[in-house]
Amino acid sequence: MYIQETIKTKYPPGDLALWIFICAELLVFGVFFAAYAFARANNIELFNQYQATLNTDLALINTIALLTSSYFVVSAIIAIKENQQQKSSRFLLLAILGGITFLIFKMTEYSHHMSEGINLTTNLFYMFYLSLTFFHFMHVILGIMILLVLWINTRKGTYTTEEHNGLVSGGAYWHMVDMVWLILFPLIYIMR
């Protein structure tokens, strides 16, 4: 098995169509990140002032939640390669819980902002902050739905040591969601 893993392949693991979709998603997020950075360049004082109102502790918890969730997805794939379906489904359940933790803390942040009367029209910083994070939030929801399907399939024994392409593809999407947050977190919450 180890020898098989060290052989380099021409295409990434999982469905190639999904990888093309991942590339399109990354491109969109990349454009949004650049737009945020250039908008900030023209309004540095405004962005620094309102960035200071964000809760970096909650953002840290959310980053750890997503990273932990991704870790469990990788563990689930390793387990299925060992033909351990039960172990794999447990890891996937933990990954889903990581995603739900992210949603809960993000909603806590949103409700705090809403209670202060903050919305998309408050100022340019909040327009970018709310739209970028909510766009990502929607991707987390889609990612959790994909993980749920993978979890159900794993419990039904759909994936085996030989055939687990669906699990690898779904996992790649979840890692993309995680990856985008790894740029979003320092860009919006920390960099000034």
Residues of this chain that interact with another protein (CB under 8 A) are: 1-2, 5-13, 19, 23, 26-27, 29-30, 33-34, 37-38, 40-41, 48, 52, 56-57, 59-60, 63-64, 67-68, 70-71, 73-75, 78, 81-82, 171-172, 175, 178-179, 182-183, 185-187, 189-192
Residue 172 CB, shortest distance to another protein, in Å, is 5
CA distances from 164 to 14, 51, 109 (A): 9, 43, 37
Nearer to another protein, 34 or 145 (CB): 34
10: which 2 tokens?
Answer: 């021409």
Residue 136 CB, shortest distance to another protein, in Å, is 14
Nearer to another protein, 23 or 114 (CB): 23
Nearer to another protein, 31 or 120 (CB): 31
Residue 26 CB, shortest distance to another protein, in Å, is 5
Nearer to another protein, 10 or 121 (CB): 10
Residue 105 CB, shortest distance to another protein, in Å, is 14
Distance CA 106, CA 114 (A): 12
46: which 2 tokens?
Answer: 């405004």
Nearer to another protein, 56 or 158 (CB): 56
Residue 76: closest CA among 60, 91, 62, 95: 91
CB neighbour burial string for 59-84, b if at least 16 within 10 angstroms, e if fewer: bebbbebbebbbebbebbbebbbeee
DSSP of 118-177: --TTS-HHHHHHHHHHHHHHHHHHHHHHHHHHHHHHHHHT---SS--HHHHHHHHHHHHH
Residue 134 CB, shortest distance to another protein, in Å, is 20
Nearer to another protein, 20 or 115 (CB): 20
Distance CA 67, CA 61 (A): 10
Residue 88 CB, shortest distance to another protein, in Å, is 12
